[in-house]
Every structure is written in structure tokens, then in C-alpha cells.
Structure 1
């Protein structure tokens, strides 16, 4: 048997439930003739009679009674499938760099204040922000916390708005010379090894660290693969000369005997600007409330340093 038209099944189900073709046509927004043709086609495909006509309308035949629960299940399944991908009916899908990243922490805070929100936080595991933008363009995710540093490379159907600034902190072990400091300036970091393993080429954070190192004459070492946060934290705990930079909202967990210290960077604050990429038109309805939450976040204190590709952009632009 060839594939059965879903609209023919829907017409059959509604006619069976309402008992009249005209009532089914009115509910489906078509003519009675269209409903009759759909059901006649379905009967030809099945090679059985589904209805008998009576003075009061239509009644199911024995074959129609046997077919109805299966047809109803198919129609219901199609409707659920459509609803699962329709914006406003499915979960809001937002891409973050990692589930311990500042973006994930901010989204968790939003969800706790809006517990009824159907939110799906995902990690695309791509380093090039243009790949994340392509995922938004394709509808794989509704938005992505990434920054395309060259606006000319952002697909025409997308826009990029400022989400929030993430102040940087120095993370060191107890043996490091700066471990007892309450705050640290970028000038004080000059000459110290700042280890950030696994900086990916073409990533936004690669540009960030390049500009940061040039601006403040810092030694940012990206040598070696990144074996995970645990290995990085273990190294910091034992080292007297290795430090790294983390975002103030980034979530890290280490054993208490590591005695690691997070020290704010000041004069100026090193601000990592986080952006949100979303469709220029027809974004998921749930994004409006998320953006309002982002706009309510406190701004970083001035003076603050930001990379050149973000300087001059206004908040929310």
C-alpha cells in the first residue's frame, strides 16, 4: 500500500468523531467536498469502506471501527512531532561554552527565577563561533553565547547582541607569589606565566588572549593539550609559578587541600564581553525574557579593558 495522506487521516478521524462530514469540514477549515474526496481516496488506498452514509450523517463500518484507533494515534503523533519543533511550543535551546561556564551559571539563575521555563541548555562543542552561528541559522539551536568578532562574517539572517561582561580573576595555588594578594593589577602579572592550555585557533578567546597579552605585556602560555579542568587545577595547586585566568562566574570545584585562590583583576578590570547570537527575525518567544534577564545583570566596574573587537559596541547592540 502506498503512503497514506496525513490530512486524509485527520479528515477521517474528525468525521468519525463528529458523525457528519460538514462538521468535520468546518473544524478543519475546508469544504465538505474536500473531506469527501480525502476519505474516498483513503478508502481506495485501503481497499475497504470506512463509512456508511445515513440520514443523520456517517457511521463507521466494521473496518472503520478497526481502523479508527490506529488513525487517531498517527494523527496525534504527527501533531506532537510538529509541536516539538514549533517555536513557542518546544523548549528554548541555547548553546553555551560549557555547563560550568559563566553563560550556564547565568542561565541557571534565570531558570531558578522562572522555574516554569522549558529550557534546554546545550553545548555544541565547536570552537569556531561561525559554526555556532551556522547552527543558529539552521535552527539547531535558538541562540548561542558566542561572538563572531568580524561582524561582516555574521550570516545576514542573524544578529548579535551584548549579553554581559565577565570580569576575569587570577586563579593560583598557595605557593604562587601572588597567592596572598586581595586584588591584582594586569601590570603585576607581567613576567608571570599564565597557563591557558588548549586555546583553539579561530576561536574568539584566542583573539582575546592575543590582544590581552599584547596590551599588558603578559606571558600567556597555551602550550600542551587541555586534559580537563581537574588536571589544570591539580597543576595550579602544586606550582609556585603557574597561574591561569578564569571568569568570575565560571564554576570550578577542587579538593579543599588544593587551597586555590581566586583573585580579582583590577585597575583595569579585564572584562570578557559575552555576546548572544540569535535570529534577526522570528526568534523563539522565550528569548525575550532571557534577554531582559541579561540586561538586568550588573555592569562591571570601570575602568575596564575589553578587546578591540568589542570596544565601541553599545550594550544591547
Structure 2
């Protein structure tokens, strides 16, 4: 029996995203083509890999049993490809989102080292970034390290990002030069992009518990522009944004630093320990040189954060 690597990649995408449509978007395929690949794989294996429902997709027992071997098979195939790839290929960097601060870190690195070619890609955080590092489809990923990693993945602190409050101009705190953390407990933080189980959702859950915040995550996330429009029309809602996050200009929005203490979002740089791309040491050195240390007297991190 010969297994189709394209079908296995489709299986892994659906297993990670738990949704055929989302997996198809990530693979650059139609949902129908993705379903056909999964059906072909299931026919080859003689079993059903997924339970399908209108709200999503879950692995069957056979699918869960096949998952680790499928990852290993794709990792081996990608390693074989890497062994013959040219050494001067671009450095592929997963920045999670192009408006987020890791993009600014890489932009600054590119300005300091203009001869390094860089390809920017985005993902859904650790749940897709770690498999991408293991497979070799990316060289570097930026994410919060919120738990144990595969032993093959190395990481180092990259940026402790101070938080700001983003709110409409009619919000009672909008006219402040700074906002104290305790004051935010009176208002509602609206964060529809906090995907359950993600490392950033876990961070804001810790923040909520520590400071008695009210954080609402309900409602579809239609993107940052729509979120800002909604906040501009609200008198009592705000959201959190990073200091170096690229927030599009909006006439109805203000951005106010948070103090006493300032919450920090801990970005880390991750890479595969066996990755020998020549730009990796340069990037690691650049990131280390710009890192500011944690000040517990004026800043906050979750109690168990490894960069404390």
C-alpha cells in the first residue's frame, strides 16, 4: 500500500484545525479537494479517521492512533527535501499575524541585515507553528511558550511586550495619558479573537483571574478593523493591544498605556535544534540584544511564566 503525502498533509491540517474549511484555506485548496484527499486516505487505510458534524470535526480512535505516525512521516519527507535544498534559501518566519509585534522584530532585523532573504508566513500560534517547525516548513516561529514543547524545539525569550488599552473616544478612560490596571476591572474587555485553547487565551485567562477583569470573547471575529469600529461606538468596552502592534488609524479610537503594573506579553523565538540555516544565529543574536528584562516592581507576567 502506498500512502499519498498530499492526503496525509490534508489529514494533519484537518486534525490541527478541527474544521475542513479552515484546513482547506491553510492548504490553499478547496474544501471539496481536501475532503477528497481525506476520503482517499481513509480508503487506503480501510478506516474512518474523522467524525464529521455541522460544527466541526473530531478524530476517531483510529485517527488519533494514526496522528503521531502521520506527523513523523511528513517530517521525514520534509527532511529529505531539506537535505537537497539550496543553503541560501530565504529564512521562513512564522509571525502569527502581520500586525503583531514579531513582524516589527523581523522588520528591524531585516534593516540591520538587508542581505538576508526572508519569507513571512502566518499561522494559528503554537498549535500549528510547532508542527511547522518540526516538519521544516518554517525555520523560526514567534509565540508564547505556555507549556512543554517537543524536545526538538529550542526557544529563547524574544520580546516582553507592554500592553495598551484600545477604546473608543467616548469611553470614560479615553482621555487619560495612562490607565492603572485596577481601573480596568470596572469595564468590559472585548476580545473575540481569544480562541479557546490558544496560548494567548490562556494568558488573558491568567490576567483576568489576577486582576478581577471581565473579558468577553463571544461573537465572531471579523478582524481588527471591525473590532475598532465596534469599540469606537461603545462607551463601556475596550480591548488590549500590544505596544508595537500595528493598529490602523481610526478617528474614534485611542490607545493608552497601562501601568501599576504593566502587563507584558512574553513572545519567544522558536526553532528546530537541527536547523542549520545560516541566518538563524544572526537572528537569535539580534533578538537577544534588543530584549528588555522583566521588572517585577512595575510589570506583570503570569506566575508560572518561564521568562520570569
TM-score scaled to structure 1, two decimals?
0.67
1:223 deviation in Å?
1.1
How many Å separate the matches in 1 of 2:300 and 2:109?
27
> Number of matched residues?
226
How many Å separate the matches in 2 of 1:176 and 1:159?
43
2:178 to 176, 183, 189: 183
Which residue in 2 is equivalent to 1:285?
278
Q: Deviations over 1:131-180 (max 9, x none)?
A: 311110110000111234112xx112111211111110001111000011
How many Å separate the matches in 2 of 1:208 and 1:147?
9
Runs ≥4 residues deviating over 3 A: 81-84
Which residue in 1 is equivalent to 2:92?
93
Q: Deviations over 1:248-282 (max 9, x none)?
A: 00001134x32x21111111110000011111234
2:127 to 130, 137, 162: 130
1:202 deviation in Å?
1.5
Runs of 5+ consecutive residues of structure 2 not aligned to the other structure: 1-80
CA contact (8 A) 2:160 2:267 kept: yes
1:291 deviation in Å?
1.4
Which residue in 2 is equivalent to 1:70?
none
Which residue in 1 is equivalent to 2:25?
none
What's the secondary structure of 1:85's corresponding residue?
coil
- Taking a change above 3 Å as real, the CA distance of residues 194 and 99 of structure 1, as seen in their structure-2 partners, is same
- Does structure 1 residue 296 correspond to structure 2 residue 293? no
How many Å separate the matches in 2 of 1:240 and 1:147?
31
How many Å separate the matches in 1 of 2:301 and 2:94?
23
Runs of 5+ consecutive residues of structure 1 not aligned to the other structure: 1-80
TM-score scaled to structure 2, two decimals?
0.69
1:161 to 156, 161, 165: 156
What's the secondary structure of 1:190's corresponding residue?
helix
How many Å separate the matches in 2 of 1:98 and 1:138?
20
How many Å separate the matches in 1 of 2:138 and 2:243?
26
How many Å separate the matches in 2 of 1:285 and 1:107?
16
Which residue in 1 is equivalent to 2:65?
none
CA contact (8 A) 2:152 2:272 kept: yes
CA contact (8 A) 1:198 1:224 kept: no
1:300 deviation in Å?
6.1
Structure of greater Rg: 1
1:194 deviation in Å?
0.6
Which residue in 2 is equivalent to 1:269?
262
Which residue in 1 is equivalent to 2:37?
none
Which residue in 2 is equivalent to 1:170?
165
Which residue in 2 is equivalent to 1:139?
136
CA contact (8 A) 1:269 1:304 kept: yes
The within-5 A match list for 1:12-91 is: 85-86=85-86, 88-91=87-90
